[in-house]
């Protein structure tokens, strides 16, 4: 048995998974209010490099999709982070599809990955500009 399957440990591969909560109807691809007060929950898992702007980007993406975080489990080991988020629709109406959520989180992941590459234009500190090589 692989350790990362039994425990919440970040893997070396950047990945995003999105699926319906097992206790709800998994055939539905939309977050719907099935009965009054009953929401379908979505489980989103993100594994990537730990960057300062990661959670800000995630929150902005989820707000844009009108999703609320019900629960968040986060593990960070060796510069990698794994976040498992339980989400629900904020206003109880038909929400974003699973593929839309997956695409939005992949965009966040790509943005984070591309920002980890230092370029002379985005380095704010004069000391960093001076001491980093200028290939």
List the domain boundaries for the chain: 3-131
> How confident is residue 134, by pLDDT bands cut at 50, 70 and 90?
low
What's the whole-number mean pLDDT along residues 43-56?
Answer: 91
| Per-residue pLDDT tens over the stretch 72-130 | 999 999 999 999 999 998 876 667 888 899 999 999 888 877 766 555 555 455 555 55
Helix then strand then coil, in percent of the chain rounded to 5, is 30, 30, 40
- Assess whether pLDDT exceeds 60 at residue 52: yes
pLDDT surpasses 90 at 135: no
Mean pLDDT of 34-43: 65
Kindly compute the dihedral angle of the four CA atoms of residues 115, 48, 52, 83, in this order, to the nearest 10 degrees: 150
pLDDT at position 34: 42
Q: Please indicate whether residue 90 or residue 38 has the higher confidence score (pLDDT).
A: 90
**What's the whole-number average pLDDT of the chain?**
76
Pick the CATH number of 3-131 from 3.30.70.260, 1.10.10.10, 3.40.30.10, 3.40.50.970: 3.30.70.260
Q: Are 43 and 83 in contact (CB under 8 A)?
A: no
Question: Does the pLDDT at position 20 exceed 60?
Answer: yes
């Amino acid at each position: 048995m692989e350790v990362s399957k039994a425990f919440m440990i970040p893997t070396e591969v950047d990945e995003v998974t999105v699926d319906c909560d097992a206790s709800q109807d998994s055939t539905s691809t939309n977050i719907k209010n099935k009965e009054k007060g009953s929401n379908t929950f979505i489980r989103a898992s993100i594994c990537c490099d730990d960057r300062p702007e990661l959670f800000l980007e995630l929150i902005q993406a989820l707000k844009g999709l009108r999703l609320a975080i019900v629960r968040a489990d986060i593990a960070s080991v060796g510069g990698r982070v794994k976040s498992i988020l339980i989400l629900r629709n904020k206003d109880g109406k038909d929400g974003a599809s699973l593929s839309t959520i997956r695409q939005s989180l992949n965009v966040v992941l790509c943005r984070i990955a591309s920002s980890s590459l230092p370029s002379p234009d985005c380095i704010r500190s004069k000391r960093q500009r001076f001491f980093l090589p200028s290939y």
